[in-house]
Chains A and B, each alone.
Chain A
Amino acid sequence: MRNIVIALGCTLFLSMFFASCKKESGSKWDTELLIPLASTSLSLENIVKDTNLIKKQTDNSLLLTYRKEVYSFSIANQLINLPDTFIGTTFRLDSLRLPNQRIVYRTSLGQMAKQLQASPDPAAQFFGNFISSSHNQMRVIPAINGLAAPPTEFDASLLFDQAKLKTGSVFLLVRNYYPIPISSASIEIKDALTNTVILTETLPYVNAKDSAYKIVDISGKSIGNKLLFELKDLNSPGSNGQQVLVDTTDYLEADLLLSDLRIEEATAIFPQQDVVSLTEEVTQQLGERKLTYIDCRRGKLKIFVTSTVQEQLYLEYRLEGAFDKFGRPLVESTIVPPAPAGGQVTIDREFDLAGYSIDLSGKNGNKFNTYTQTIKGRIDSSGIKRTLTLKDSLIIRYDIKDVAPNYIKGYAGRDTFVANDSTAFDVFSNLFKSGTIKLKDVDLKLTLENGMGIDGVVKINDFTATSPANGSRTLTGAALANPITVGRAKDLPLQPTVTNININKSNSNITDVIGILPDKIRYNFEVKTNPAGNNGYYRDFAYLESALKVNLDANIPLSFIANNLTLVDTINFDLSNTNTNINGIKDGVINIITQNKYPLQAKLTMVVVDENFVVVDTLAKDMTLNGAPLDANCKSQNTIRDKTSVQVDEARMTNIKRGRKALVFANFNTPQNNATCNGQPLQIFSDYKLDVTFTARFNYSAEVKIE
């Protein structure tokens, strides 16, 4: 008895205490759970993806807005693209000038008396003696005839060796300090070497103690550097029986100023002087365009100078009417070294035109496409005798190249441009692969934005929508019947003008055109500039970036009838990182529950494919979503619920995990089960959406551990 009791007690102890050495793991049991896994919402924004395309109106209806630049037509590149220009001109020296020269010749009574005393003529000897002996005495002087003075030599060799005068003048001033008048005399200047008479001039009557002035032209004369001056044939009526004081120091003075000595050629020490000064206009041929002004964003002016002038030339080039942004003119100076005798010298210089604005209206402002250039050449006085002639020349070639304006002004000419191209129109085509959609309305606006100061006219010759599934449809109607006048932009500041062409169902078949779900629009526009020609104002302008842009603005109320509208979408679907046995889940049923407020019914198929697009599983096949019921206003107020169940076990889950993408095929139709709304396009409102909830009914192994 005792032993039994003890044994029972020990057993009890052992079972109570040693059994309390619990397992590390907890208790497990199977349950069946029914829980929501995930929920999401599918709205129009998800389908369209670009939320900027969807706009909500005041009545909460949705509008699809689409804006695209269909075409950008810039003639600025052609208008303001100036061809390279080169101009070569030969300039001869304008003039060469020698410095003025002065010769003063005097002959006194005493000198004259000596000369008469030396004459072989006894009468002359007598008169000479008379003069000599009458110094400081009052005498009656008889008439004098044919008196001559010995020649006097003038040496100009320090200034020139020889010169052929193109022009020249001698300013002759005769001062008669004799006590008797000079009735006539002649002055002769001869080249001492060649004995060539340079000048012979008869003096006028000069009273005693009086003067006379005369200008004598010596143009065309050639002179050496030694000149002989001679006074000949001096006649005087004497003192006319009156006693006059005879002073042998009284003289007759001839003051000769050789001035305005412009030479044709000379070997001389030339003074500093401008030898070239020329303003020349160069006109570019730009067809019909008559530009009055350009702004250069780049360009080069290259000057090549070939000179035969044997003196160093300082050349100044000025492009008239060209100023940089600081207002500084385009003036460039360069030095041309002296050419060797019988030879020539050439230099070249390059100048950057970038940033210069250039007036192309010529020196008087009444021309077009015309550059005005001023070239000035100057020689300094080197102190060295040089031989220069007016035949010496400067050949200046200047290249204006790579001129690219960023602004032009004037008359742009008349041009016709045709834009024949196509543009993507992917509003619907990215979503729906087939089917048609009958839209209630489409409000299409072609916006012509003209950024050039040029009048124009646009004609739409063709506007055709094409769809891979539904062929093509051409836009027709009153909207395209007539050309559209496009006004010019305004300048300063630049304000493009906007011209709208409104296209809707009342003036075209646009709803049919868009209804084929096009992916492309083919167009043919014709643009004519200055259709009225030159109005004489020359106020056309264009910037480099100016363009005529054609924008397409489409506002499509989302009110439509869908007919087998097929959406095919590929979405990433990669569950490869998901644990097959998701923490206790063994297998089960996935329910896809939809709450649809869209008045569209749909059939959905969802197929999972691997990276090679090989199907690994079909998650849903022809899953039906019914369209929400409509009220009397053809508006859905409530959602409609649908459910599809998918059996999933471990093997299937393993298979699905091989997938990388999911292909969703959805076919939409507008139901025709409402007598009031049948046949009417149904409006989509902003509160319409499709809620999708994934729930699961599955066996789950629960575990609890209590310590």
Chain B
Amino acid sequence: MRKYIIALPLICALGQAAAQQDTTELNETPKVSNPLLFNYASPTAFINPFSSNWNTDSTKNRFEIDAGFDGNSNGISQQFVWNILFGNNFDQKTKDKMRGIMRPQNGYEDNQTAGVRYKHYFKKFDGYFTAGYHFRTMRAAFFNKEVFELLFYGNAMFEDQTVDITNTYFQNLIYNQFSLGFLKNIRQGNNTFSIGVNAAFLHGLNSQNLFFNQSSIYTAPDGEYLDIEYEMKYNQAHFGTKREREKADIGITGDAQFSYQYKDKVRLTLSIVDFGVINWRTQPQNYSGKDSIRFEGIEFADITTLANGSFENIKIDSILGDLLPAKSSSLYQTFIPYTLSFTGSVNAWRDKLIINAGVQYKPLRNYYAYGFVKVNYFVQPTLPVSLTMGYGGYTKFNLGVEVAKHWKKFDFAIGSNNLIGTVAPAAYTGVSAYLRMGVNF
């Protein structure tokens, strides 16, 4: 499925791009208000089903292909994330570099989407209905620097020290999303209210969920023992046959948006996206418990038993695994980390300069609000370029750019919310890239 999604936009893009003339002149927006003015307000528009670079006055149908990846961190380089995701190895230099940019407390979250959407505008309804399919991934992690060092350098450096792993958190979600929704405009004079509601059926593909509450590991001098104190919960579900999975792991999310626009001067938008839950029932595995253990190695009754024993297949992982709580197979739920955002947009200068500012929140640990300013400059009414600056959440300072272009029937927008991280993933945290393409007919 994913491969078709991957191939299709490429073919479309190439085809359309080749077929399109430079329609700047043909589709040049008349001097009346540019309907695209406030369409590029949010840096995370690619995950919002209601954001649309679409002039409903001219076409009633729109087919969109969008894809985007937005990763943010205040201390974890994207190189680190890519190495993990793509199975690349970490050499010492890479580790040292990553360690160099880490903060005492490090958060990471990413959001990836790829999919298609169809919209149909009903003039009488003054709104459109939308249906779409998207392949989604969401990851989030929070850990302190010592946890990174423990995992990537080993506990030998923490001899006679305690590593605090409290509040260490990791979540990985992969699912298919099938959505239906609508957006309705309510016009009252110069005021336009828009209400959008979208509901999605989720088909879970993969889930891992790990959380350590009050937990620590102490390594005694010479490794004589390990004192492990933990209160943890871990759930995962990614087993089972494809047929089993298709039936079992299901969820639901909802999106909602409320916006108010005054003429073409100001627009305010409040939205919540991906508010929902998935139930994981296909061969789930759970580990949950609280304990305090002193590990002194495999205990042998006496020294002769030790000498006779075979050390065949000693696995460090399994030695440590024996210390963890027992496994169970109980179904569990994962609440999708929604995105709540509020954006205000102002037509600052003659339909040329739109200044957007907003704040975004996600229910992640130690995630504070993310604030951004996005400045759109319409080089032409159909060619806006944008510059985004953001800070907060799980980010360092983000600097992003975006370019969009509209033709009569085709448009695209491409951009990044974090150009530095995208260009220099090893040296900076976060990465972002997105592409939206639409065909109007």
Contact = CB atoms under 8 A, between A and B. Distances in A.
A582 to B, nearest CB: 5
A13 B315 contact: no
A478 interface: no
Interface string A690-703: 00111111001010
B67 A16 contact: yes
A3 B208 CA distance: 41
Q: Which of B303, B304, B310, B435 is the most central at the interface, judged by chain A CB atoms within 10 Å of its CB?
A: B303
Given A32-B157, A34-B156, A40-B300, A17 B310 contact: no
B433 A12 contact: yes
Interface in A114-165: none
B225 A42 contact: no
B170 to A, nearest CB: 9
Contacts of B20: 2
Contacts of B296: 36, 39, 693
A132 to B, nearest CB: 137
A5 B69 contact: no
**Majority secondary structure, B binding face:** mixed
Contacts of B13: 6, 9-10, 13
Contacts, number: 198
A585 B316 contact: yes
Contacts of A27: 83-84, 87-90
A643 B224 CA distance: 10
A16 B433 contact: yes
Contacts of A612: none
Nearest to A641: B224
Interface stretch (A18-26, A381-389, A398-406): A18-26
Contact of A33 (B2, B9, B155): B155
A35 B222 contact: no
Interface stretch (A168-176, A277-285, A319-327, A570-578): A570-578
Nearest to B435: A9
A32 B296 CA distance: 18
A13 B86 contact: no
A591 B222 contact: yes
B308 A574 contact: yes
B310 A575 contact: yes
A39 B300 contact: yes
Contacts of A6: 13-14, 17
Interface string B77-99: 00000011111111110010000
Interface in A1-59: 2-3, 5-6, 8-10, 12-14, 16-20, 22-43, 45-46
B154 A33 contact: yes
A88 B414 CA distance: 135
B86 A38 contact: no
Contacts of A704: 84
A380 B438 CA distance: 143
A700 B153 CA distance: 10
Interface in A78-93: none
A577 B312 contact: yes
A67 B172 CA distance: 69
B89 to A, nearest CB: 5
A573 B219 CA distance: 29
A697 B303 contact: no
A579 B92 CA distance: 26
Nearest to B170: A706
A542 B156 CA distance: 76
Contacts of B414: 5, 8-9, 12
Contact of A697 (B156, B300, B306): B156
A669 B92 CA distance: 49
B412 to A, nearest CB: 7
Nearest to A704: B84
Contact of A9 (B91, B300, B306, B412): B412
A257 interface: no
A700 B302 contact: no
A11 B313 CA distance: 45
A24 B313 CA distance: 23
Nearest to B65: A13
Contacts of A584: 316
A691 to B, nearest CB: 9
Contact of B2 (A2, A17, A702): A17
B295 interface: yes
A633 interface: no
Nearest to B306: A40
A583 interface: yes
Contacts of B87: 22-27, 705
Interface in B20-47: 20, 22
Interface in B103-159: 112, 114, 151-157, 159
A42 B224 contact: no
B222 A643 contact: yes
Contact of B90 (A29, A32, A573, A582): A29
B1 interface: no
B6 interface: yes
A36 B405 CA distance: 63
A17 to B, nearest CB: 4
B326 interface: no
B302 A46 contact: yes
Contacts of A38: 297-300, 306
A419 to B, nearest CB: 38
A9 B403 CA distance: 11
A534 B304 CA distance: 60
Interface string B407-431: 0000010100000000000000000
B6 A10 contact: no
9 contacts: A9-B412, A29-B89, A29-B91, A31-B151, A31-B154, A40-B301, A572-B304, A578-B314, A662-B307
Given A9-B412, A695-B222, 17 more contacts: A2-B17, A5-B414, A6-B13, A6-B17, A16-B114, A23-B87, A27-B84, A31-B151, A33-B156, A35-B219, A35-B226, A572-B308, A574-B308, A697-B222, A700-B316, A704-B84, A707-B238
Interface of A: 2-3, 5-6, 8-10, 12-14, 16-20, 22-43, 45-46, 571-575, 577-579, 582-585, 591, 593, 643, 662, 692-697, 700, 702, 704-707
The 4 closest A-B pairs by CB, nearest first: A31-B154, A36-B297, A23-B87, A695-B223
Interface of B: 2, 6, 9-10, 13-14, 17, 20, 22, 67, 69, 83-92, 95, 112, 114, 151-157, 159, 172, 174, 206, 208, 219, 222-226, 238, 295-308, 310-317, 319, 403, 405, 412, 414, 433, 435
